[in-house]
Amino acid sequence: MTTTLPPVPARSLRHANLADLITLLQQQHRQKIDIVVPVSSLHLHDGSLEIAGIDPLVTEGGVTDLSGLYRPTSTVDADLATLLGIPLRYVRRMRDEHVGLLDTNVNEWASRATNQVLVRLFYGSDPDHPETSGIARAIRSDRYGLKDHLDTVLAVLDGMRDAGLTADNISSASLSDDHLYLFVEAPEIAAMAPKLLNGYRSPWTTDDGTTLPVVHAGFVVKNSETGGGALSVTPRIVVQICTNGLTMTKDAIRQIHVGQRLAEGQVDWAADTIAKSNELIHLQMRDAVSSFLTEDFLAAKIAELEETSDTPIKDVQNTIQVVAKQLAYTEDEAAGILGHFIKGGQLSAGGVMQAVTSFSQTIEDVDRQNAIEASGVEAMLAAARVAP
């Protein structure tokens, strides 16, 4: 008996708890397909990627055919542009204005290729796109290394437990099409930072950093299943009065997703491959906890920030404009950061950093929110350079 597809899994979460994240990742894991195909077989039909040769889903209820049309994410459009040498702006314009022309361009250039790629998919029905069999998530090299989100979370938890932490130390988690973010905090590793927070007011409450200049240690784990960068663990200082996260990107630990060449066909990741990947993550957690969650490391990072944070800012609007240009903030983002700078009341380069990180909390897009937060320290340094 032929069965119908289950609903396509949700693709994003913002500031979720760990239980909700794991529930969604388990559903996504059940509905993942990885298949290696020749580039010449890639074919768009009405803008969707036509995939054949997928093993059918066999359950007690019957058999479900999973081959068919998969709706691409914006990541897949970017992957196709890179793979086939088509300008990305042109790909996006064709998708918006002339999808038939997009089909023609992609299909013609793909037919000339001789290499193969890994295509990552979610299968499932979408009532808004009933003609499709799921979502095309990414097109990667056939040497792409496995970094599964669910396995990553479980390996992170194992590593944290070995280092004396618990799941309660994961304060929140976010998920997008391209990235997983786990925010680990250790409120017990705290320090006073009166110089760093002098004159700063929380934009959310009446608390101020002059009377409550407390920060604590943490780090953020970032992973991608779609080629959006290496798995990384980055130290993060949390300001207690406002939950601003000051991310120390230059101290990040990274692990590149590179594996052995994959054979053509549907990929069934071997148990030993998964075990080796998880062991590396386990070791990263041990190293992160021992390196980042210490009073000495926290004190050193506070001192490092304070070398620049009290640089006075006199021409506020010009400073924000220059910083926005250097860090590629949009006009709306620059305006939002300026508003948070005024609310914060800290007329210094450190105040720009706080404004960037507090403003980031208002951004709905998961990846953009985290990119803006991660730029906070760089924004402080840029603001200090602008100051006369």
Say yes or no: 201 and 242 in one domain.
yes
Question: Which residues, in sequence order, are bridge partners of residue 246?
Answer: 237
pLDDT beyond 50 at 26: yes
Could you read off the pLDDT of 50-108 as tens digits, one per residue? 998 888 877 777 787 888 999 999 999 999 999 999 999 999 999 999 999 999 999 99
Across the range 127-155, mean pLDDT stands at 84
| The amino acid at 51 | I
Say yes or no: 323 and 279 in one domain.
no
Q: Nearest-CA neighbor of 22 among 138, 151, 120, 160?
A: 151
Question: Which residues, in sequence order, are bridge partners of residue 172?
Answer: 183
pLDDT beyond 70 at 288: yes
The answer to whether residue 204 is domain-embedded is yes
Q: Indicate the pLDDT class of residue 289, thresholds 50, 70 and 90.
A: confident
Number of domains within the chain: 3
The answer to whether residue 341 is domain-embedded is yes
Say yes or no: 297 and 350 in one domain.
no
Contact 169, 184 (CB under 8 A): yes
Interatomic CA distance for residues 208 and 241, integer angstroms = 7
Across the range 120-147, mean pLDDT stands at 86
Q: Nearest-CA neighbor of 380 among 347, 344, 346, 354?
A: 354
| The amino acid at 143 | R
Q: Tell me, what's the pLDDT at 270?
A: 46
Q: Tell me, what's the pLDDT at 346?
A: 94
Contact 38, 52 (CB under 8 A): no
Q: Tell me, what's the pLDDT at 190?
A: 95
Say yes or no: 209 and 300 in one domain.
yes
Q: 84, 116, 141: which is the final residue of a domain?
A: 141
pLDDT beyond 70 at 124: yes
Q: Tell me, what's the pLDDT at 198?
A: 93
- Domain of residue 91 covers 13-141
Q: Please provide the size of the chain in residues.
A: 388
The answer to whether residue 7 is domain-embedded is no
The answer to whether residue 6 is domain-embedded is no
Q: Tell me, what's the pLDDT at 28?
A: 94
Could you read off the pLDDT of 195-218 as tens digits, one per residue? 999 999 999 887 888 889 999 999
Q: Nearest-CA neighbor of 366 among 234, 177, 185?
A: 177
Across the range 345-366, mean pLDDT stands at 95
Say yes or no: 189 and 239 in one domain.
yes
Say yes or no: 35 and 131 in one domain.
yes
Burial class (CB within 10 angstroms; exposed 0-12, middle 13-18, buried 19+) of 343? middle
- Between the alpha carbon of residue 301 and those of residues 183, 237, 384, the distances in Å are 18, 8, 17
Q: Indicate the pLDDT class of residue 160, thresholds 50, 70 and 90.
A: confident
The answer to whether residue 121 is domain-embedded is yes
| The amino acid at 191 | A
pTM of the predicted structure, to 2 decimals: 0.90
The answer to whether residue 345 is domain-embedded is yes
Could you read off the pLDDT of 293-352 as tens digits, one per residue? 899 999 999 999 999 999 999 899 999 999 999 999 999 999 999 999 999 999 999 999
Interatomic CA distance for residues 164 and 367, integer angstroms = 30
Q: Tell me, what's the pLDDT at 1?
A: 42
Say yes or no: 269 and 164 in one domain.
yes
Q: What is the CA radius of gyration of the chain?
A: 23
CA atoms within 13 A on the CB side of 48: 17
Interatomic CA distance for residues 376 and 386, integer angstroms = 15
Q: Look up residue 222 and give its two tokens.
A: 């970032």
Query: Cα angle vertex 149, ends 144, 151, to 5°?
Result: 95
Q: Indicate the pLDDT class of residue 140, thresholds 50, 70 and 90.
A: confident
Q: Tell me, what's the pLDDT at 264?
A: 43
Q: Indicate the pLDDT class of residue 172, thresholds 50, 70 and 90.
A: very high
What average pLDDT does the structure give for the chain?
Answer: 88
Say yes or no: 161 and 296 in one domain.
yes
The answer to whether residue 8 is domain-embedded is no
pLDDT-wise least confident of 114-128, 222-236, 288-302, 327-341:
222-236
Q: Tell me, what's the pLDDT at 144?
A: 60
Task: Show the 3-state SS of the chain.
Answer: CECCCCECCCCCEEEECHHHHHHHHHHHHHCEEEEEEEHHHCCEECCEEEECCCCCEEECCEEECCCEEEEECHHHHHHHHHHHCCCHHHHHHHHHHCHHHHHHHHHHHHHCCCCEEEEEEEECECCCCCCCCEEEEEEEECCECCCCHHHHHHHHHHHHHHCCCCHHHEEEEEECCCCEEEEEEEEEEEEECHHHHCCCECCCCCCECCCCCEEEEEEEEEECCCCCCCEEEEEEEEECCCCCEEECHHHCEEECCECCCCCCEECCCCHHHHHHHHHHHHHHHHHHHHHHCCHHHHHHHHHHHHHHHCCECCCHHHHHHHHHHHCCCCHHHHHHHHHHHHHHCCCEHHHHHHHHHHHHCCCCCHHHHHHHHHCHHHHHHHHHHHCC
Q: Tell me, what's the pLDDT at 256?
A: 47
Q: 114, 141, 168: which is the final residue of a domain?
A: 141
Q: Look up residue 169 and give its two tokens.
A: 């130390």
Please give the share of the chain, as a percent, with pLDDT higher than 70.
90
Q: Tell me, what's the pLDDT at 273?
A: 52
